[in-house]
Amino acid sequence: MGSIDANPAAFEAFGATGVDGFQPLNAEDVRSYLHKSVDFIYDYYKSVESLPVLPGVEPGYLRRLLQSAPPTSSAPFDIAMKEVREAVVPGMTHWASPNFFAFFPSTNSAAAIAGELIASAMNTVGFTWQANPAATEMEVLALDWLAQLLRLPASFMNRSTGGAGRGTGGGVILGTTSEAMLVTLVSARDAALRRIGSDGVAGITRLTVYAADQTHSTFFKACRLAGFDPANIKSIPTGADTDYGLDPAKLLEIMQADVDAGLVPTYICATVGTTSSNAVDPVGAVADVAARFNAWVHIDAAYAGSACICPEFRHHLDGVERVDSISMSPHKWLMTCLDCTCLWVRDTHRLTGSLETNPEYLKNDASESGTVTDLKDMQVGVGRRFRGLKLWMVMRTYGSAKLQEHIRSDVAMAKMFEDAVRADDRLEVVVPRNFALVCFRIKPRGSMTEQDADEANRELMERLNRTGKAYLAHTAIDGKFVLRFAVGSSLQEERHVRSAWELIKKTTTEIIKGE
């Protein structure tokens, strides 16, 4: 059989694809489109403060503004950009706005945007080390850098801090906290099944998992996905006596009762900075309880883990050397855009043992040598983005001092807001402030009942949000409707917090007066 080169006519049957054909990566187009996109981003950040934080659109609005069928013919890039400006931007909830106080922040930075842009342009799929050595090693390096900032024990690092060989632990960058919970739940499940000598998953109905009732709802979803019986997913009540953190004595009591009933304690999720109240579960004490039952302990530090790069907050992670895994999300509070959740485990083999795949087409000398960890084996899927670059860019560009300054500034602004609330006798701080979240509400006074107070607080939130000048969210604590004021948007300054406070005071006065 002759070579293809020997029969050039074979190509002619498929038509020519010369310089006039479709070239989606034409270098001049790349330069032009990206320059226009960068100009758009510049204009967006310059103007976002003046835009309503919540859009005034109705469901289905976008379909009415843009054509409902996909275009057949090409159009100038400027047309797409015009539609972005005129149709997409007006329908955005502006998380980048300095007047956004609703959920935990979704921070960003020039360095992160640049890293994301470069990684997207390279468009690598680094499922194995060989598939992209730089992407794998950059992720490993960035995770080890961040682990050092958090003062995690060397057992969680891909390489010991002394550089003397590979340890048992390591990390991986995932998309969300949900994924971190899911992969560690699966690993803990498999370890528990082996421990009780179960054939396959036959014994899964005996396995139990535990978390405080303040734990994010995604944990309970991940438990179901991992196959745990909903009856064995234990939500442990918390209260004001522990500042809504997990009570180790209550945890021990429940776990022992489960053992006495023939169940197998398998996994405990401890949270550092819960979504509703910013509660902190006592990591060391929880680990002590778990050790009695050989249960896996995972720390969800998605939000507040970022604060632990500051020495004054690091004590919230005391006891971390005795847990099995910890995750935190730099895309929340460490200036690294979505998506970026960092997961560290003390023993990567427990993770890869449950998640690894080894098809023939991915086999290579580096993987089989045992000197590298293929990050595909520490996540649910196989394909993966080059997430490590933007995280490294943030740490390399700003350094730990500026990142700590960013955290401390947000905490100081939150304390300023908290002090203002406490000084207003119409309002109350519902739980002690941790980090940069203040939970507050209009408190009952005079003939106002708790139900009346709930209605007043709901009205306060809705009026604030309708103005477009601020966006707050709510939660329920001890059955009460509570407003959450979360400081931390990348563009926020003290003047934005003060402006929001003045708006809250004015609106509270109008509600109490019945206006």
Would you name the residues annotated as active-site residues?
361
Question: Judging by DSSP bridges, how do beta strands 170-174 and 341-345 pair with one another?
Answer: antiparallel
Residues in the chain: 515
Residue 430, Ramachandran bin (φ over 0: left; ψ between -120 and 50: alpha; else beta): alpha
Helices (H), 261-315: 283-293
Q: What are phi and psi of 173, to 5 degrees?
A: -100, 120
Task: Provide the token pair at 488.
Answer: 């931390």
**Three-class SS of residue 466?**
helix
Neighbours of 473 (CB within 10 A): 16
Place of tokens 């819960």: 274
Neighbours of 400 (CB within 10 A): 14
**How buried is residue 15: exposed, middle or buried, by Cβ count under 10 Å (0-12/13-18/19+)?**
exposed
| SS3 sequence of 302-364 | CCHHHHHHCCCCHHHHCCHHHCCEEEECHHHHCCCCCCCEEEEECCHHHHHHHHCCCCHHHCC
| SS3 sequence of 172-200 | EEECCHHHHHHHHHHHHHHHHHHHCCCCC
Q: Which residues pair with 271 in a beta bridge?
A: 300
